[in-house]
Chains A and B, each alone.
Chain A
Amino acid sequence: MAEIKDVKRDNTLLSVEGLKVHFPVREGILRKKQIGVVKAVDGLDFSIRSNETFGLVGESGCGKSTTGRAILRLIESTEGSIYYKDKNLTKMTQKEMMPLRRDLQMIFQDPYASLNPRQPVIDIISDPLIAHSMISKSEKQDKVAQLMELVGLNPRFMNRFPHEFSGGQRQRIGIARSLALNAKFIVCDEPIAALDVSIQAQVINLLQDIQDKLGLTYLFIAHDLSVVRHISDRIAVMYLGKIVEITGKKELFQNPQHMYTKTLLSAVPIADPAKERKRTRIITEGEVPSPLHKPQGCAFSSRCPYAKKICREQEPELKKTSEEHWTACWEVQ
């Protein structure tokens, strides 16, 4: 919570307080009994400033995407609140959310699954505009052409279908669609994970260009640290549904405090063979615990080489350790 109050004074666009998303696990045929809870997201506090790119990293299954979806109310959260400007999104009905959907958008991971295969590009991009009655039918073509140019697509192809485009082009269509409603905040859910490495750079650059042009704010979800390092201003590291460390990009890479962050960073390959040979990897033991049966205390305690008694008994809170740096670790506190 400390983090939130601290940031409030500058221009916070979106803040998340104590967000929890739990999925009940049921069993049985006739009478479904609840046999457990998957705590996909288990108490998140962070805030995103206007016009910044906030990176969210962590290994698969740690709740990154769930967080993004919960913010857009595509998944209902169990507890906690999400404030966009002054509005509490979690308290709104889906109907009240409608006008806000213009501001809050999402770019999806898989450009093959996120576009309706039966619609030509012109309809894919203009559907949201028509749903929010922002354009008339006659303006449709012009507006779509504008958007396509913005993302570097040739508007001549607006009558084509998604399968006639390459992966990178499809992702551009997805980006154009999310920009159609003049979004202010975009959740990028691993937007480049499904693309070729050569295309990844193009899409990343496109995202940055558009951000500069339109003054967007991104929540950038990824598991690739080098990409996050390139695009983000601040980065939050997630482990098993919790944020273990939040700090600026530079600080995170130069002075990681949480053992988990250190482990992650040590796994990033270096593009220089001489340095790469000297790179030492911190190898953690064991597997990621199941989110159904989380360890008591610090979630990372079962794998952390420095785990002490307190780590296994009490959960560390996210605490400010230096300017712009918050860590949830007993060792550091």
Chain B
Amino acid sequence: MNNTIHSQDSIDQLEMVKGESFGYKAVQRFKRHKLAMFGLVVLGFLLILTIVVPIFIGDSAYELNFTEMAQSPSLKHISGTDSIGRDIFARLMIGGRVSLSVGLVSVIISTTIGVILGGLAGYFGGKVDMIIMRFTDTIMCFPYLVIVMTLVAVLGPSLFNTMFAIGVLSWTRIARITRGEFLHLREMQFIEADRSLGIKTPTIIFGHLLPNALSPVIVSATFNMANAILMEAGLSFLGLGVQLPTPSWGNMLQEATTLTILETMPWVWIPAGILIAVTVLSINFIGDGLRDAMDPKMML
């Protein structure tokens, strides 16, 4: 117990125990997480690459070039060309834009829906909980392809509709996790203390409950992002996702369904596969790091 008593005037000049704001500490904790830093660097590199490179490569991703069909990697085409002569590297970069934005946007949609619905169910309980959770169960046990097909049929296949369809269907797990956390947290004494102090319900939900419930949500959201990229691949495969000729990592993988390409032209599909794997892994590492960074109990 440190019992130093300060006079009233000296409070202004109080030397606080050094710069220990939450943000500062969180950054420190994140930096210490090696895998997360690795993930951040890799994802950042990919992001910059996919944003910058397409500006310079022009039309080689779309134009048919029958003189340079199915070439293996060379100096002119770093990653070779596909069976109709389009430059694979250019398509990978543009496809990266598509895949990453599908992942990001659909995760934003699904996390928002999931956290709000799960939070309401968990905080209010009773009938609200009952209604929301039965709705969640319904969405969960519905075969998602059927809904996506219906959605796409109604809205028409496009990039945004793919993001929307994935986002609107993958919030269920986040809702369940948030609800579970809220159910557990709202019985904690500090929430009771909040109510006895007259702190308003929105502040309790978003200011006090949510930050405590966030770590599993973040981890789940990063998995969702990885999942969304794969789901987009699956949808494109069925012709419901991103439509050719617009490339995405998913529909580039799809080309590997032809046996000749699978066997004789590995440069067409291996890079897309590796990029999906690396991106998904990086995102998962970052999620792991974020979870640790946001927990004040983790030591520096």
Chain A residues in the interface with B (C-beta under 8 A):
69, 72, 74, 97-98, 101-102, 104-106, 108-110, 113-120, 127-128, 131-132, 141-142, 145-146, 149, 152-161, 163, 166, 168-169, 174, 177-178, 180-181, 202
B34-42, B138-146, B189-197, B266-274: which lies at the interface: B189-197
Additional pairs, 6, CB under 8 Å, beyond known A74-B195, A117-B212, A119-B208: A102-B198, A141-B11, A142-B12, A156-B16, A157-B17, A163-B296
CB nearest neighbor in A for B15 = A156
Chain A residues with CB under 8 A of B195: 74
Q: Would you call B259 an interface residue if the criterion is a C-beta within 8 Å of the partner chain's C-beta atoms? A: no
CB nearest neighbor in A for B7 = A149
CB nearest neighbor in B for A158 = B16
Which of B194, B196, B200, B296 counts the most chain A CB atoms within 10 A?
B196
Chain A residues with CB under 8 A of B196: 72, 74, 101, 104-106
Q: Would you call B211 an interface residue if the criterion is a C-beta within 8 Å of the partner chain's C-beta atoms? A: yes
Does B6 contact A149, Cβ atoms closer than 8 Å?
A: yes
CB nearest neighbor in A for B209 = A116
CB nearest neighbor in A for B297 = A163
Q: Would you call B22 an interface residue if the criterion is a C-beta within 8 Å of the partner chain's C-beta atoms? A: yes
Q: Would you call B199 an interface residue if the criterion is a C-beta within 8 Å of the partner chain's C-beta atoms? A: yes
Bound state CA distance, A131 and B202, in angstroms?
Answer: 11
Given A101-B198, A149-B6, A156-B16 in contact, is the A116-B212 Cβ separation under 8 Å? yes
Does B193 contact A177, Cβ atoms closer than 8 Å?
A: yes
Determine chain B's interface SS by DSSP, over half rule.
loop
Partner of B2, one of A114, A116, A127, A154: A154
Bound state CA distance, A286 and B10, in angstroms?
Answer: 61
Given A120-B22, A155-B14, A160-B20 in contact, is the A114-B190 Cβ separation under 8 Å? yes
Chain B residues with CB under 8 A of A110: 189
Chain B residues with CB under 8 A of A113: 188-190
Does B193 contact A114, Cβ atoms closer than 8 Å?
A: yes
Given A102-B198, A105-B197, A155-B6 in contact, is the A118-B211 Cβ separation under 8 Å? yes
CB nearest neighbor in B for A174 = B193
Q: 8 A-B Cβ contacts within 8 A?
A: A108-B193, A109-B189, A113-B188, A113-B189, A149-B5, A154-B4, A168-B1, A177-B193
Interface membership of chain B positions 171-203, coded 1 if the CB is closer than 8 angstroms to chain A and 0 otherwise = 000000000000000001110111111111001
Chain A residues with CB under 8 A of B199: 127-128, 131
Bound state CA distance, A20 and B17, in angstroms?
Answer: 49
Shortest distance in angstroms between B291's beta carbon and chain A's nearest beta carbon? 13
Shortest distance in angstroms between B134's beta carbon and chain A's nearest beta carbon? 13
Does B212 contact A114, Cβ atoms closer than 8 Å?
A: no
Given A101-B197, A149-B6, A154-B2 in contact, is the A118-B14 Cβ separation under 8 Å? no
Chain A residues with CB under 8 A of B188: 113
Does A181 contact B197, Cβ atoms closer than 8 Å?
A: yes
A-B contact count (CB 8 A): 104
Q: Would you call B21 an interface residue if the criterion is a C-beta within 8 Å of the partner chain's C-beta atoms? A: yes
Q: Would you call B74 an interface residue if the criterion is a C-beta within 8 Å of the partner chain's C-beta atoms? A: no
Chain B residues with CB under 8 A of A154: 2-4, 6
Shortest distance in angstroms between A188's beta carbon and chain B's nearest beta carbon? 12
Does B6 contact A145, Cβ atoms closer than 8 Å?
A: yes
Shortest distance in angstroms between A153's beta carbon and chain B's nearest beta carbon? 8
Shortest distance in angstroms between B52's beta carbon and chain A's nearest beta carbon? 38
Chain B residues with CB under 8 A of A202: 1
Bound state CA distance, A128 and B208, in angstroms?
Answer: 13
Which of B16, B190, B199 counts the most chain A CB atoms within 10 A?
B190
Partner of A131, one of B17, B193, B203: B203
9 smallest beta-carbon distances between A and B, as pairs: A101-B198, A128-B197, A114-B189, A113-B189, A154-B2, A145-B11, A161-B296, A131-B199, A116-B190
Does B11 contact A155, Cβ atoms closer than 8 Å?
A: yes
Bound state CA distance, A118 and B11, in angstroms?
Answer: 25
Chain B residues with CB under 8 A of A116: 190, 208, 212
CB nearest neighbor in B for A99 = B198
Chain A residues with CB under 8 A of B21: 159
Chain B residues with CB under 8 A of A74: 192, 195-196
Chain A residues with CB under 8 A of B194: 127
CB nearest neighbor in B for A145 = B11
Shortest distance in angstroms between B131's beta carbon and chain A's nearest beta carbon? 15
Given A118-B296, A163-B297 in contact, is the A152-B3 Cβ separation under 8 Å? yes
Chain A residues with CB under 8 A of B207: 127
CB nearest neighbor in B for A75 = B192
Bound state CA distance, A152 and B16, in angstroms?
Answer: 17
Chain B residues with CB under 8 A of A180: 197
Chain B residues with CB under 8 A of A114: 189-190, 192-193
Bound state CA distance, A105 and B194, in angstroms?
Answer: 11
Given A102-B198, A128-B197 in contact, is the A108-B189 Cβ separation under 8 Å? yes
